[in-house]
Amino acid sequence: MSETLTVELSRSRARTALAVTAALLFLGACRHEKSDSGGLPRAETFYVAGRQWGEPSSFNPLTGNPDWPVANSINLVYETLLYYNSLTGKMEPLLAESYQTTDDTVEATLNPAAHWNDGKKVTGWDVKYSFDLGQKYKSLPMAPLWQYLTEIKLYDDAGKEAPVDPVEGANYPRRVVFVLNKEKKNPLVVLDEFQNTRIVPRHSIEPQLRALGGNIDAFLKLKFDKDAVSSGPYKLLSYSGEKVVTVRDDGYWGNQALHGGKLPAVKYVVHPIYKGNDAFSIGLRQGRLDASSTFVPRIWLKNKKGVHSWMDEPPFFLSTSIPMLMINHKHRPLNEVHYRRAMAFAINYKDIRELAVSGYSDPLKPGLILPFGLESKFYSDEDAKQYGTWFEPERAKQELKDGGYTGVFNSDGELVETHDASGQKVPTVYIKSPAGWSDWESIVRIAVKSMRAVGIDARERFVDSSLFWNALFQGDFDMIMQTPSSAPTPSKPWSRFEFLMTTQDFAPEGEKMYKNMGRYNDPKSPGYIARLDELIAKIPTITNEQELIAAYRELNVLFMRDQPTIPLVYRADAFYEFSNKHWANMPTAKNPYLPPLIPGDRLGTAMLWKITPVLN
Amino acid sequence: MLKNNPTLRYILARASWYFVTFLVAVTINFFLPRLGDANPVDTMMAKVSGGLDAKSAKEKEEAYLKEFGLIEVDPSGAIRRDAAGKPIRTSLASQFVSYLGMSLHGDLGGSIQQYPKRVSEIIKTGIPWTLALQLPTIVLGWLIGNVLGALAAYKRGPFDKLLYPLVLLASAIPAFCFGILLVYFFGIRLEWFPAIGAYDDGLTPELSIAFLQSASYYYVLPFLSVFLLVVGGQAIGMRSMCIYELGTDYVKYAKLLGIKESKILFYMFRNAMLPQLTGLALALGTMVGGALVTEIIFSYPGLGLAILTAIQQSDYPLVTGTCLLITTCVLIANFSVDMLIGFLDPRIRAAQAAGG
């Protein structure tokens, strides 16, 4: 015996430890696959991902950025007046059964069946209150709408104007009339808000706000994570750092009024919270996730595992937005059109599409209007050919030459710097993108490589994401990656143009601008194009289709000729992947009964009544 | 009294040093994250500013700045402004004073990015998972690693020849690489164990057979990903310490005196243990920082990712709060080891007795 007591002791401890570990492993390993032992039944549970990235902190419907399932565009708990169908371009009923626009109003009529989960009816008073809050409290998300409105009026079924304060009784106002601001008429943004603003119960919110002395900042601290009064088909059941669980409200008004008396087949909609990007792909492959709206690379490799996207062939997804390089028009040489167009001719868009975004995009065409889908009717190939830019290095060199620029290359053929007409070095153009956003980083690298090849002195600059946003708003960049106004809404493509070119709230560099961060078309500059502002103001009011097409063509031509930003690729606002392991009849391009949205996300919610469990 | 009690004097001396270290650490924890250019409110504004016009956005931004105490407010609650109408930023010094005041009451402040959550809430939900993953892994790994290392050094021969390359390999593989391999082979290819998560998606944490079963099943891969690395590192350290001790004079002398081999081994083990003990304390102290890599690869709950995100998004109160926790744990762990070694190590005992 050579072992001492200590060694013996450690050994026996180690043995115990090993035994415990082994027992744990055994316990785990012999546990059978069925997950129905005390948990949520798989056949009644739908797992979604991609809309909640960290532990939830607030479900307050009035905050600008609440957590799933109250989050923006999620209709599970709180509902909007209407849905927008991005496939048909039509508004579809939700709390409002219909709407109409007149010359100076937009009017919604509420569904008489709509009620809150405490049994009280959803009235015009609730709707008016939900929007009026933004008139009083400028920091609330619906506040910006008020620059386009003068007031909201309520009428009952008999056409009588309703009193301002709610009165009990069966005769409540169902007609809600939004009176447009004559100075700034824009029914499009009102419709955007109809499918965006959560309608909240006045009888529950108002007393809580009053109890806090009307202090909105104190109110926004309330978490609304218990017994909230809401109108939607699901209620919050539980939440943690690992997942958020909602449970079906069997008393939901829409089961009868909108879905033919059916309950959704899904009893629980669960959003697991994953920490790494690979987790989404693994979750889908293993059937742990039923649908996700995250970027899953090379989706075609996962088809045999039952994972699909909107289409099973390229581009796999339905794009609704345009990632682009925003350009700072206050910086030399970017304020010069030849330089901007040279950059746009230099970039290899095919490489970006194929290498940086897994081919999830149609080939890029010039301009700011999507050449497919609903916007294609405003698109003109003829204009694009005449005024647009595309990958053609020779044209890029020609534009540089026309502007008097020359690239100086060393003996290895590498660009050293770019000179202007007077032989001076022009400043290096830095492209900012948040560090770690790998798809954007690849895009920027390809763009930089293409530009340098023709003689444009551009470099990438990846910055900390917190510095990135500050740089974006303050105009502290030469060029910067951005996907402006990406969600499909009734106001597209107008809102994309408006976001990039509006001169409203124009501010010098260093002060913040939340639109047109590139400071394009400064009204005080000599090159100011007044026509742009006119078109942006006029398009929302045009009702004649031919006139509208003409206006959009003109706007797009102005964009192409001046190249204020450089569109790079098309992208879905939210990706849409699903597994058919546990649920069948998910919408696809071949079965497009709903747009490609995961359940809970806008009109995607309606899928919950249509999908059926797969019985194994 | 102190003169007659060297042990108490030793403890007090150490404790006061640790207290000074603590104060310095608290100060650095506070200032370091705040010295950069980043403004956490910008990140928040990026999330909520969609569609806001300049005036509303400004109002919103000021509301946030006020909420987080980043701009000055007069007693009536109104924002103090300079001549140009811009809000006056609260100076770092006065932020520090109010931070100290709050900390004394145990209030770590509110998180900025997870507004309106409190820092203490975030720590409270993350820490049980972090400890559940780290504590058993580190302690078990340390024990087994040390025993294996000592045995390898003592037994030599085939045992050592086989074990040494293995533990060397285990300790040399980067943690993320090993984790990914485990996920790929056992989680995706073979599907023996769940690749991601900490328990079945359909369950809620509670004390039930179903949950414990599920949690232990999900525990296997994350546990192994850390455990094997700890074993490897410890075994190597212990093995070389023991080999060194085997060649020391006292061992040779003891052998010459004919002392029993087991007695010699006991002496040797005790001495080789001391540096390993310090290593254990450090590992235990820093473990609340979380096994970040493991958390991300396995989507495992815990504090690690919360800290990383807080740093990335300049969530000052959360960074400062969690760093305070880590600092405190490291200091307590080190202090305990200091005390322990003080009693275990005869050299230090002798030094105390000699008055220094």
Do the beta carbons of residue A405 and residue A419 sit within 8 Å? yes
Note the pTM of the prediction, 2 decimals: 0.89
Do the beta carbons of residue B56 and residue B64 sit within 8 Å? no
- Most B CBs within 10 A among A4, A48, A53, A506, hence the mutation to make, goes to A4
Do the beta carbons of residue A234 and residue A248 sit within 8 Å? yes
Q: Nearest CB to A65: which of B48, B56, B266? A: B48
Residue A297 tokens read as 């690379």
Torsion angle, CA of A385/A388/A393/A395, rounded to 10 degrees?
80
Tell me which chain B residue has its CA closest to the CA of residue A464: B312
Please tell me what DSSP assigns to residue B110: B
Task: Report how far apart, in Å, the C-alpha atoms of A281 and of each of A78, A287, A440, A534, B180 are.
Answer: 29, 10, 20, 47, 14
Q: Nearest CB to A57: which of B60, B115, B270? A: B115
Write out chain A residues lying below 8 Å of B129, CB-based.
Answer: 241
* B216 phi/psi in degrees, rounded to 5: -70, -35
pLDDT at A34 over 50: no
**Chain centre distance of CA B202:** 30
Residues of chain B under the 50 pLDDT cut: 356
* B263 phi/psi in degrees, rounded to 5: -65, -45
Nearest residue to A302 (alpha-carbon basis) of A13, A575, A551: A575
Do the beta carbons of residue B326 and residue B289 sit within 8 Å? yes
pLDDT at A536 over 60: yes
CB pairs under 8 A between A and B: 219
Tell me which chain A residue has its CA closest to the CA of residue B77: A215
Give, in degrees to the nearest 5, the angle at Cα A388 between A386 and A393: 110
Task: Report how far apart, in Å, the C-alpha atoms of A191 and of each of A71, A80, A89, A92, A489 are.
Answer: 19, 11, 12, 11, 8
Three-class DSSP labels, A485-506: CCCCCCCCCHHHHHHHHCCCCC
Asked if A138 lies within 8 A of B125 by C-beta distance, the reply is no
pLDDT at A20 over 70: no
Residue A498 tokens read as 């408006």
The region that residue B179 occupies, defined by phi over 0 for left and psi between -120 and 50 for alpha, beta otherwise, is: alpha
d(CA A255, CA A418): 65
Please tell me what DSSP assigns to residue B186: I
* A546 phi/psi in degrees, rounded to 5: -65, -40
What's the pLDDT score for residue A121? 96
Residue A307 vs residue B309, higher pLDDT:
A307
Residue A383 tokens read as 């204009």
Q: Which helix (H) or strand (E) holds A234?
A: strand A234-239
- Most B CBs within 10 A among A1, A37, A73, A275, hence the mutation to make, goes to A275
d(CA A194, CA A213): 29
Write out chain B residues lying below 8 Å of A220, CB-based.
Answer: 116
Do the beta carbons of residue A236 and residue A228 sit within 8 Å? yes
What's the pLDDT score for residue B266? 81
A348-391 tens-digit pLDDT:
999 999 999 999 999 999 999 999 999 999 999 999 999 999 99
In which band, very low, low, confident or very high, does the pLDDT at A565 lie, cut at 50, 70 and 90?
A: very high
Three-class DSSP labels, A256-309: HHCCCCCCCCCCEEEEECCCCCHHHHHHHHCCCCCEECCCCCCHHHHHHHCEEE
A319-355 tens-digit pLDDT:
999 999 999 999 999 999 999 999 999 999 999 999 9
Q: Nearest CB to A2: which of B38, B218, B262? A: B262
Please tell me what DSSP assigns to residue A181: P
- Most B CBs within 10 A among A46, A466, A485, A491, hence the mutation to make, goes to A466
Name the strands in the sheet holding A105-110, side by side, starting at the edge strand that comes first in the sequence: A96-101, A105-110, A175-180, A149-155
End-to-end CA distance of chain B: 16
Q: Nearest CB to A4: which of B126, B214, B265? A: B265
Q: Nearest CB to A14: which of B51, B147, B263? A: B147
pLDDT at A22 over 60: no
Å between A552 CA and nearest CA of chain B: 21
Å between B3 CA and nearest CA of chain A: 35
Please tell me what DSSP assigns to residue A179: E
Tell me which chain A residue has its CA closest to the CA of residue B53: A144
Asked if A467 lies within 8 A of B38 by C-beta distance, the reply is yes
Q: Strand pairing of A91-93 and A82-84?
A: antiparallel
Write out chain B residues lying below 8 Å of A321, CB-based.
Answer: none
A454-494 tens-digit pLDDT:
999 999 999 987 788 889 999 999 999 999 988 899 999 99
ipTM for the predicted complex comes to 0.84
Mean pLDDT of A294-315: 92
Asked if A36 lies within 8 A of B202 by C-beta distance, the reply is yes
Residue B161 tokens read as 């020849």
In which band, very low, low, confident or very high, does the pLDDT at A6 lie, cut at 50, 70 and 90?
A: very low
What's the pLDDT score for residue B50? 65
Least confident of A94-103, A532-541, B50-59, B201-210: B50-59
Q: Nearest CB to A24: which of B126, B219, B309? A: B219
Asked if A512 lies within 8 A of B300 by C-beta distance, the reply is no
Do the beta carbons of residue B54 and residue A517 sit within 8 Å? no
B78-125 tens-digit pLDDT:
888 888 878 888 888 888 988 888 888 888 888 888 888 889 999 998
Do the beta carbons of residue B217 and residue B194 sit within 8 Å? yes
- Most A CBs within 10 A among B53, B62, B192, hence the mutation to make, goes to B53
DSSP codes joined into one string, B23-70 = HHHHHHHHHHHHTSS--HHHHHHHHH-TT--HHHHHHHHHHHHHHTT-
Asked if A466 lies within 8 A of B38 by C-beta distance, the reply is yes
Do the beta carbons of residue A121 and residue A115 sit within 8 Å? yes
pLDDT at A499 over 60: yes
d(CA A587, CA A605): 12
Write out chain B residues lying below 8 Å of A238, CB-based.
Answer: 204
Asked if A5 lies within 8 A of B111 by C-beta distance, the reply is no
Nearest residue to A194 (alpha-carbon basis) of A86, A84, A116: A84
Write out chain B residues lying below 8 Å of A19, CB-based.
Answer: none
